[in-house]
Amino acid sequence: MAMGLRGALDKLRRLRPRELLGALKKHKWTLAFLLACLITFLGPTYIIFALYEVGLSWPVPDITGYVLFSIGLVSTAYLLAARGS
C-alpha cells in the first residue's frame, strides 16, 4: 500500500499544469462530493470548536456550524440527485 501511494505521489509531481487541470476536470464530481461531505461533518464539529477557541461568543459558532451543516447536506443531496439522472 505504501509503495502504491508513493508511486501515485510521484506521478502527481510529474504532471504538468495542463495535465493536472485535465485530471481535476475528469474527477470534478468526486472532488465536489468529498468537499460537500467535509463541509457537512467538519462544520458542526471542528469549526465550532475552533470558533469557540478563538473567543467568539455563544451564538456565532453554533449558527455557523448549523449553516455549514445545512450547506453540506444540501450540496450532497444536489450532487447525488444530479449524478443519478
Tens digit of pLDDT for each residue in 9-41? 777 777 777 776 777 777 778 888 888 888 888
Question: The whole model's pTM is what?
Answer: 0.63
Q: 27: domain range?
A: 2-84
Burial environment of residue 32 by CB neighbours within 10 A (0 to 12, 13 to 18, 19 or more):
middle
- Mean pLDDT estimate for the chain: 81
Provide the number of structural domains found in the chain. Answer: 1
d(C-alpha 66, C-alpha 74), whole Å: 12
- Runs of H (alpha helix) within 1-85: 2-14, 17-26, 28-42, 48-54, 59-84
